Structure 1
């Protein structure tokens, strides 16, 4: 983006030359982006859309080039918001401007598919460099493209590239710099088009030929002509590659599904069993030694200590406790992506998800949602376009994450001691049914444009052994984006919650040393409690716990213990014989008019259906924007209330 201001939100310094990366899905474009930019990356949404872009910096000697990784697309004839963003950017339409050079990544093992996109990019008049990847896969299939002939026929610079190893990156840099030198205007402002912008009183000169628009027939003819020059003697008999042989098992009608379920189970285990000790360790460090040390050195009144320890430190600790979980999940997704299996998983799960307007690629974020909703939101980037990404993001909060499990165990153990396991299992089944129901409702209302969902057509990449360095860089970028985007919101809100619970509304209590019910927070809970009366939950302590649960479900049980003025040691006694269970049973018996079991079920259903946690809302807002995030919160709260009321009233009548 030179000779004009960058679009809002795009991290590009004034006067910095911009390189746009364009290519088919699974051609190696994003891997190339990671290789060129290293850790110098940021995630953004294209202005006015929910289409996610990555921006980065490519250091070439003393020069810093801005990189924009565009959504994967097969053509510049847009059929989705993602493809529209790519097409507009390459052509110089819209707020993003136009790249100074477009690097078009061509899949050497499927040149015909890639050349059509190259022809369209070339037509826009943007200077082009073609980077041919997957040459090892092409060689395994007995295909050896002649890159010199390809460059001559296509009339663009062509370089061989392996973005996974970095081979060819230097040659790509040289080709890009040569193009930039031929498009430098007399005033020292680099521009890609002669008539693009006036800068400093001069109009930029360029060596790029004016774009020539072609019809579809002409474009296909051009593609065939260039392909014939690059691959004059294709193999007479297609060669069965190693990937083809593996796919005979992984895409088999009977074997593919069990393998897919085993992989998804492993991802689920990663987000629960493996990550839990790490999350607990981080949380324990902030809540234990660090909190104790801070209390020992903080001077002044008790409210200062409470603000710093229970407010600020607790908020920071909550954010950072997500980091190990997110890192593990992102490593798992990166391995599935880089290995090539993610595309196969989408293919296997496609038919089951088409009924709700999605395709198989939604299965990964939905499965991750049962481990944690926060990384599941980020995992929606594997979806093919912004609309399906958004629909998946709206359904993820209905997947029951492990944080809710502590509440399930407490209530089920108290009210259904002989069948607690069955009740908990039923809640997970209900979670899956709510995802389907929610998908059907959204598909018939706000997402009617997804009604005609066709079977998934996807180019399957060759299998690869994931590379450690790009995998770790990608994980670092995604975790850092979460901490920057959602961390401040989570920590800030937790501080606000502490402040509300520290301010007394009655006399005799100093700030920071007030019973919950006598604080502003308690009075807010008092005001909310009557709303829960139709569900048999009209008690300030229940309302307080559910309100606190909006911040994080992990604290619901602790909030109940605190509101009942129990010792923290009693929180662990989440069973029919525990002190907390006894208090809860007695309270629900009063609020429900003697129908405590029905009220307990309503409480469980409400916990399942309403907003999972503040971290999820913050990530939802970062990925999809505030309008969708806060609208989703309102819908979820309304739906959870209606469902809880229906469960209680039905249970009361059947009792």
Structure 2
């Protein structure tokens, strides 16, 4: 077996995180395991009511999920293990699965292992079953993707397969909750037999036990014998819809063009549909909500107090402005969930494989990178699917250059302010720029740090196209919107409070606490210290620089910082999106010396390339250590400043 470079951050623990209702103390442990994209995490969510991340492409599960589950009335702790094709680990996440199932003491292993098998790729899916049967594990096989198998002319008899494998087999459709109850009864029956001797092992010939190829051949012979009896395969099946569509969407030239067109349409729909809703919410916060809060403070005798200023100019202005972007996020997440659930996003890995290999990364590295366009933090964890330590380090360093959804809110505000007729195209351009930066920085690192990287081709099982389900789309969308709201309700509130305190402390002008002009505040003073660094980039205004500083905490805070800064300076103007746009436009007009478009584009590029947030930095420290993380932060700031300088200085000449 090929040696696997360990990832220190991955520890074989059954308690990596809770993704649903907590399990009862002392409850028996049941593990879900299966190949990537076999429906394992979807089944986990269906059984436990949890909110485990799911997606119709491989690599979405990179940590152990756990939750309580009632299996036919029996309290069980259910584990969702990282996807693995076999227990011959080739990456840290596969090693974690092996450690939990085979390497630990027998008494610490799961009482029952549920193998989720893709019926459309049955032979490959049952390899795990063969290995677990050799270890005398109690195994239950769950057949998924039966509808896909049927379209391909494959019919599986679950009863016959159970007899041939010597383990219970349940056929179900976790996407539509079909058969979920039966699996609970089967698992409960297996748990009831735990006091009995474990199942008889499958024996491998002793003289071949040290020959890996011979052992694999013997396993596949056992699997083929079972599948031959249990599965019926039609030989005259016409090409499926998936096959016909993939001829175009995975083609070397047409495929990338289709991908770009699809993503442009997503951003165009997002900005067009969300704009009027966002304006309405902005008017709600700047009008009735602000007026109501002022009346309450007048009534209780705290008019013009620092408490009123904090609530109105701090919380309502900052957090309220951020909440106006919730409709935009919902629309974006729904569209992306539809693309993911349909199976299209997996094709993106194929069309970008050539670019990945050009920078020394396997096509599989695209999987964590595409996760990064949602959020950089889970994307960094997703690098555990990569086999080599150097590949993981390089990908972790590249992930922050993928444009996360937090940046999207700022893109939309800037695009709506300066390019209202082409907002969707500008936002789309930022995501294309993100991809270009990832490739260029990757090439630079390959040419300097890791010149010995090999050229590895992508090996990926593409899922069949399927009709997205309302339940799964809604579930995925809600998980992501909830994460956005949790950020707004947590770290953004703290950030808004800190910014307001800094703006409330006077350093000149002789004003009292809370009644200081923003230009005379401590916040302005701190921002002005580093403003000269950004003057060559065209946005050397302290309001803008201060927002970028706050954005290091979370990119959404850029908007909240702008909103509360301008609200404090012009309380009579309110905090509607239109008024905020006017303030930002005026600031860029002055700082750029009239080259507004060049300065705005430079600002967007800097926002894209500099360190995403403190949560991303913490995730990088966990995965690759402090030294590489520090190197990454310096690299991000250097790339961001250099590119922004080039954009502004060249743009102002055109």
> Shorter-chain TM-score: what band?
0.7 to 0.9
1:606/1:643 contact within 8 Å kept: no
Q: Distance in 1 between matches of 2:362 and 2:629?
A: 22
2:210 equivalent to 1:207: no
* Partner residue, 1:394: 400
Q: Return closer, same or farther for 1:51/1:62 CA change in 2, 3 Å cut-off.
A: same
Q: Distance in 2 between matches of 1:422 and 1:478?
A: 24
* Partner residue, 2:289: 290
- Per-residue Cα deviation, 1:422-445 (whole angstroms, up to 9, x for no partner): 999998876554332223234556
Aligned length: 606
* Partner residue, 1:118: 129
**Equivalent of residue 41 in structure 1, options 38, 51, 54:** 51
* 1:466 CA drift (Å): 1.8
* Partner residue, 1:187: none
Q: Trace 1:170-181 onto structure 2 (pairs within 5 A).
A: 170-181=181-192
* Partner residue, 2:613: 617
* Partner residue, 2:640: 640
2:605 equivalent to 1:608: yes
Q: Distance in 1 between matches of 2:538 and 2:250?
A: 50
* 1:159 CA drift (Å): 1.6
Q: Return closer, same or farther for 1:9/1:574 CA change in 2, 3 Å cut-off.
A: closer
2:551 equivalent to 1:518: no
1:104 is paired with a residue whose SS is: strand
2:282/2:577 contact within 8 Å kept: no
1:31 is paired with a residue whose SS is: helix
TM-score of the superposed pair, with normalisation by structure 2: 0.76
* 1:274 CA drift (Å): 3.0
Q: Distance in 1 between matches of 2:482 and 2:177?
A: 24
* Partner residue, 2:246: 247
Structure number with greater CO (CA < 8 Å, separation at least 6) is 2
Q: Trace 1:57-72 onto structure 2 (pairs within 5 A).
A: 57-72=68-83
* Partner residue, 2:87: 76
Q: Return closer, same or farther for 1:180/1:445 CA change in 2, 3 Å cut-off.
A: farther
**Equivalent of residue 231 in structure 1, options 228, 231, 237:** 228
2:331 equivalent to 1:328: yes
1:14 is paired with a residue whose SS is: coil
**Equivalent of residue 146 in structure 2, options 135, 146, 152:** 135
* 1:108 CA drift (Å): 1.6
* Partner residue, 1:196: none
* 1:113 CA drift (Å): 0.7
Q: Distance in 1 between matches of 2:368 and 2:272?
A: 18
1:312/1:491 contact within 8 Å kept: yes
Q: Trace 1:370-519 onto structure 2 (pairs within 5 A).
A: 385=385, 387=392, 390=396, 393-397=399-403, 401=408, 403-404=410-411, 407=414, 433-443=436-446, 451-484=453-486, 487-506=489-508, 508-519=510-521
Q: Return closer, same or farther for 1:430/1:456 CA change in 2, 3 Å cut-off.
A: closer
Higher mean C-alpha deviation, range 221-230 or range 385-394: 385-394
- Per-residue Cα deviation, 1:104-143 (whole angstroms, up to 9, x for no partner): 0112222111121222233444421111222333334333
* 1:533 CA drift (Å): 5.9
* 1:304 CA drift (Å): 0.8
* 1:178 CA drift (Å): 1.5
Q: Distance in 2 between matches of 1:485 and 1:584?
A: 28
Q: Distance in 2 between matches of 1:119 and 1:228?
A: 12
* 1:458 CA drift (Å): 1.7
2:127/2:220 contact within 8 Å kept: yes
Q: Return closer, same or farther for 1:136/1:579 CA change in 2, 3 Å cut-off.
A: closer
* 1:336 CA drift (Å): 2.5
1:542/1:560 contact within 8 Å kept: no
1:138/1:144 contact within 8 Å kept: yes
Gaps of 5+ in 1: 45-49, 185-204, 414-419, 590-595
* 1:270 CA drift (Å): 4.2
2:318/2:564 contact within 8 Å kept: no
Q: Distance in 2 between matches of 1:427 and 1:481?
A: 23
- Per-residue Cα deviation, 1:535-557 (whole angstroms, up to 9, x for no partner): 67766455435435555444687
Q: Distance in 1 between matches of 2:171 and 2:259?
A: 34
TM-score of the superposed pair, with normalisation by structure 1: 0.76
* Partner residue, 1:165: 176
Q: Distance in 2 between matches of 1:382 and 1:326?
A: 23
1:349/1:361 contact within 8 Å kept: no
**Equivalent of residue 308 in structure 2, options 305, 309, 329:** 305
- Per-residue Cα deviation, 1:317-376 (whole angstroms, up to 9, x for no partner): 46644544444333333322332222233323322343234566777987898xxx6557
Q: Distance in 1 between matches of 2:486 and 2:586?
A: 42
